[in-house]
Amino acid sequence: MADEVVLLDFWASMFGMRVRIALAEKGIKYEYKEQDVFNKGPQLLQTNPIHKKVPVLIHNGKPVCESLIIIQYIDEVWKDKSPLLPSDPYQRAHAKFWADFVDKKVYQVSKRVWTSTKGEEREAAKKDYFETFKILEGELGDKPYFGGETFGFVDLSLIPFYSWFYAIETFGEFNLEAECPKIIAWAKRCLHKEIVAKTLQDEKKVYELVGQLRKLQGLE
Amino acid sequence: MAKNDVKVLGAWPSPYVMRPRIALNIKSVNYEFLEETFGSKSELLLQSNPVHKKIPVLIHGDKPICESMIIVEYIDEVWTSGPSILPSDPYDRAIQRFWAAYVDEKWFAAMRGLRSAQGEERKAFLDQVTEGLALLEEAFGKCSKGKAFFGGDRIGLLDIAFGSFLGWLKVTEKVNGVKLLDEAKTPGLVKWAERFCADAAVKSVMPETEKLLEFSKVLAAKMKGAPPPKN
């Protein structure tokens, strides 16, 4: 019986991009269904009633929610090729810790920057943003990837945020490469991977989206 | 394995700290429990969890592992001769992880909100907590498939994630004069809670409700002692 894999997603979602990269790494064929996150459709609401968010992976009719949980699921089901997590338990725990850090911190600090008003609020948001990325730079160290010699779970968790850097830098009025050069160097290295380059979204399109989101929130 | 090869840095009132302790008990692994002093953080804690500076930390040999649910999964993967904590089926694993994350990010956040909320805000948090319990009652029905625990015949990942909050749930019931787990509304969870607290792996680490209640008063007093927030 052929596997039926459906992904409910939104083009600009960093969380969705993670899953798209994971599916591509494993060579899994799937149906991509673009969601209108401003006007959520019945399938999304039915498959993720608790959070009502993308991405949702539907495998043979059964939904899996939460991007990092989806990626672990993909890794466990399609276990014979391209492992997404290390096999050693300590390395796995280490990778999960840092992916969890990305989830807990990076999204929030990013959002605070692009939803901030100019002045004190923005400066405070930027300070936390740089601090977060400096911690990530510390963890990266001299390694080419967070996963070591190869692109791994943490790299996968973080790289989609690259699509949002331009928007955040522009609204925040700063240059991330100046503050965190190692992160930009790491991102460019990841972009050499065809799957990553194909999955990441056009930063100017994301910038326009953030502009629209700001208007919706009365910030423009 | 030598006892001091496995250490848990923590504190007895913390539900998060209970989790790795329950997991180690399930696996019959001896460990040294290093208690942090309330109100201060030891050098060892700051050194082994420099990013979050939080308990619990598992120190295995010389390797620190942080974040309670990540620690539980690590324990399951390392000590394979003991009973499994995660189910073997990937979909069941995903469901357990999903609800464990829900308990942490949504449900307990509402429980914490209750602690200091007043009036309308308090009612809103209480509603969220109750709604969450209704969802968890439904999840229990689906996950347990008629058996004793979310994990089936034995305690599993989600039992540990949610069960570790039962002490604080009882304290919240007492302090707020409400019944959160209710035979009428959440009959499955009421029985599950009794079984969970009575389990051999849990009993020795679940704090007594009275002790926790006393501690919560100390905690509330400390929080009140903090300077009032700027309006």
Q: Region A128-144: what's the mean pLDDT?
A: 97
Q: For the residues B16-26, what does the mean pLDDT come to?
A: 98
- A92 contacts B74? CB cut-off 8 A: yes
Residue B70 contacts A, CB cutoff 8 Å: yes
Which residues, other chains included, contact A59 with Cβ-Cβ below 8 Å and sequence gap of 6+?
A: A3, A4, A5, A73, A77, B91
pLDDT band of residue B155 (cuts 50, 70, 90) is very high
d(CA B114, CA B131): 14
Structure tokens at A17: 């991009």
Give the pairing of strands B32-35 and A62-65.
Answer: unpaired
Decide if A76 touches B, using CB distance below 8 A.
Answer: yes
pTM: 0.95
CA atoms within 13 A on the CB side of B83: 15
What local confidence, expressed as pLDDT, does residue B219 receive?
86
Interface contact A69-B71, CB threshold 8 A:
no
For residue A178, CA distances in Å to A149, A169, A174, A185, B221 come to 25, 11, 8, 11, 46
The token duo for A42 is 């019945």
B107 touches chain A (CB under 8 A): no
Nearest CA in chain A to B97: A69
Instruction: Name the residue facing B94 among A73, A93, A96 (closest C-beta).
Output: A73
Q: Is B109 on the interface with A (CB under 8 A)?
A: no
Q: Are A103 and A157 in contact (CB under 8 A)?
A: yes
How sure is the predictor about A146, in pLDDT bands with cuts at 50, 70 and 90?
A: very high
pLDDT of B137 > 70? The answer is yes
Once rounded to an integer, what is the mean pLDDT over residues A27-56? Answer: 96
| pLDDT at A188 > cutoff 80 | yes
Question: Chain B within 8 Å of A93 (Cβ-Cβ)?
Answer: yes
CA distances to A90, B4, B27 from B57, rounded to whole Å, are: 13, 14, 18
- Which tens digit of pLDDT belongs to each residue from B200-221? 999 999 999 999 999 999 888 8
Alpha carbon B9 to its chain's center: 15
Encode A103-115 in three state secondary structure. Answer: HHHHHHHHHHHHC
Q: What whole-number distance in Å separates Cα of residue A97 and Cα of residue B73?
A: 12
Of the pLDDT bands very low, low, confident and very high (cuts 50, 70, 90), residue A196 is very high
Residue B230 — very low, low, confident or very high, per pLDDT cuts 50/70/90?
very low
Half-sphere exposure of A147 (CA within 13 A, CB side): 21
Where do we find the tokens 């929080």? B223
Partner A contacted by B134 (CB < 8 A): no
**Beta-carbon contacts of residue A134 (< 8 Å; ≥ 6 apart):** A179, A180
User: Could you tell me if B73 lies within 8 Å of chain A, comparing CB atoms?
Assistant: yes
Q: For residues B104 and B153, is the Cβ–Cβ distance under 8 A?
A: no
The residue of chain B with its CA nearest to that of A76 is: B90
Confidence of residue B231 (pLDDT cuts 50, 70, 90): very low
- Tell me: pLDDT of B229 over 70: no
CB atoms within 10 A of CB A170: 15
Mean pLDDT within A78-96: 97
pLDDT of residue B118: 86
B6 DSSP 8-state letter: E
pLDDT at residue A155 in the model: 98
Chain B residue with minimum CA distance to A92: B74
Burial class (CB in 10 A: 0-12, 13-18, 19+), B154: middle
Cβ pair A12, A201 in contact under 8 A: yes
Q: What is the pLDDT of residues B46-79, one digit of tens each?
A: 999 999 999 999 999 999 999 999 999 999 999 9
B63-66 sheet: strands from edge to edge = B32-35, B6-10, B57-60, B63-66
> ∠ CA B59-B72-B206 to the nearest 5 degrees?
95
Among the partner-chain residues A62, A72, A97, the one whose CB lies closest to the CB of B66 is: A97
Contact A78, A28 (CB under 8 A): yes
Mean pLDDT on A92-119 = 95
pLDDT at residue number B2: 54
A53 three-class SS = coil
- At B2 the three-state DSSP class reads coil
- Report the pLDDT value the prediction gives residue B3, as an integer from 0 to 100: 55
pLDDT reading at A218 higher than 90: no
pLDDT at B114: 87
pLDDT at residue B227, rounded to an integer:
55
The reported pLDDT for the residue numbered A1 is: 57
* Residues 104-143 (A) with a CB less than 8 A from some CB of B: 135
Considering chain B, what percentage of its residues have pLDDT values greater than 90?
A: 86
A62: left (phi over 0), alpha (psi -120 to 50) or beta: beta
Sign of the torsion angle spanned by Cα atoms B188, B194, B200, B202: positive
Q: Is B99 touching A (CB cutoff 8 A)?
A: no
Angle at A179 between CA A182 and CA A101, to 5 degrees: 65
CA distance B4 to B7: 6
In angstroms, rounded to a whole number, what is the distance separating the alpha carbons of residues B12 and B29? 18
- Residue B4's pLDDT is 64
Contact B101 A50 (CB under 8 A): no
The beta-carbon neighbor of B65 closest among A69, A93, A135 is: A93
From B7, B172, B122, B140, select the one nearest B75 (Cα to Cα): B7
